[in-house]
């Protein structure tokens, strides 16, 4: 039986490039994407597709249910889906959209699928060091910033990495996080003059295939758990993400917000 990998946000950017690499290596690949048009990419790769909106609790639970049927025991689950919004938008559950996608979706999927998992990789961002997660304000975007909120939500997610590693250690499930580098994708695209400048700057950034190489490397490395990688270098979490008190508070809050408490 071919090893299997599930990739959220797998229809474009780093997610798609990572899916292409796993398919090339002979893995069975399942993409999780919001846009039904991802069926074209899935067909090209010979991959499975789960269509789900990971910005809503309803969509996350739907994705978990479909994955249980399509890929009962993935060898690797890669949380790649992420957004960087230019404006504050609330989901149907009342959460700021990037908080839901970048933080709550991986948290809830981990809970719903944990009895089926073997290896989990969280694609994160080095910008987490600029984050200032406020459990009282960040979930609803009361502290929204077009620049900093992305870092805030990535910090929320990354701070839970040691807790997941400890929770799963006796089960033999491993989890690591990787910042794949500054990659040329559609993440954070804007309109207007700022958007034009960003597009020009992105011409100098690395191609998605290079980001995929970093993700693939971490996914295939099962020598440890709870590790953070900057591309291919293992680094300790910066103090802002290594705050155990904040991590426990964020965990309890996420459990309450997603209904897994």
Q: Rounded to an integer, what distance in angstroms lies between the CA atom of residue 34 and that of residue 10?
A: 10
Domain interval for residue 27: 4-258
Q: Using one digit for the tens of pLDDT, what is the confidence trace for 5-24?
A: 999 998 889 999 999 999 99
Task: Kindly write down the DSSP assignment for every residue of 205-261, as one continuous string.
Answer: SBPHHHHHHHHHHHHH--S-SSEEEETTEEEPPPTTT--HHHHHHHHHHHHHHHT--
Pick 206 or 112 by higher pLDDT.
112
Claim: this prediction has a pTM higher than 0.75: yes
Pick 116 or 182 by higher pLDDT.
116
Q: Tell me which of 22, 107, 128, 150 is the catalytic residue.
A: 150
Residues with Cβ within 8 Å of residue 204, at least 6 apart in sequence:
none
For residue 228, indicate whether it is catalytic. no
* Domain total in the chain: 1
pLDDT at 45 over 60: yes
Q: Using one digit for the tens of pLDDT, what is the confidence trace for 219-252?
A: 999 999 999 999 999 999 999 999 999 999 999 9
Collapse the DSSP code of 8 into the 3-class scheme (helix H, G, I; strand E, B; otherwise coil) and give the result.
strand
Collapse the DSSP code of 105 into the 3-class scheme (helix H, G, I; strand E, B; otherwise coil) and give the result.
helix
CATH of the domain at 66: 3.40.50.720
Q: Rounded to an integer, what distance in angstroms lies between the CA atom of residue 154 and that of residue 201?
A: 22
Q: Rounded to an integer, what distance in angstroms lies between the CA atom of residue 92 and that of residue 241?
A: 29
């Amino acid at each position: 039986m071919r090893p299997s990998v599930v990739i959220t946000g797998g229809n474009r950017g780093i997610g798609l490039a990572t899916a292409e690499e796993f398919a090339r290596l002979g893995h069975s690949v399942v993409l999780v994407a919001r846009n039904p048009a991802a069926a074209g990419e899935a067909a090209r790769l010979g991959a499975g597709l789960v269509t789900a909106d990971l910005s809503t609790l309803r969509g996350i639970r739907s994705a978990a249910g479909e994955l249980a049927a399509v890929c009962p025991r993935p060898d690797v689950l890669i949380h790649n889906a992420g957004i960087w919004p230019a404006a504050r938008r609330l989901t149907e559950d009342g959460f700021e959209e990037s908080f839901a996608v970048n933080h709550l979706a991986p948290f809830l999927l981990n809970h719903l699928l944990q009895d089926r998992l073997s290896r989990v990789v969280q694609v994160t961002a080095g910008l987490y060091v600029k984050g200032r997660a406020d459990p009282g304000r960040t979930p609803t975007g009361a502290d929204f910033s077009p620049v900093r909120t992305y870092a805030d939500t990535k910090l929320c997610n990354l701070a839970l990495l040691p807790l997941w590693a400890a929770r799963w250690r006796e089960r033999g499930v491993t989890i690591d996080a990787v910042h794949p580098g500054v990659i040329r994708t559609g993440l954070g695209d804007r309109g207007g003059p700022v958007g034009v400048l960003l597009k020009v700057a992105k011409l100098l950034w690395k191609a998605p295939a290079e980001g995929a190489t970093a993700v693939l490397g971490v996914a295939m490395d099962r020598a440890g758990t709870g590790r953070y990688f900057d591309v291919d270098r293992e680094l300790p979490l910066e103090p802002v993400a290594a705050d155990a008190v904040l991590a426990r508070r964020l965990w309890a809050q996420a459990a309450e917000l997603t209904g897994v408490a």
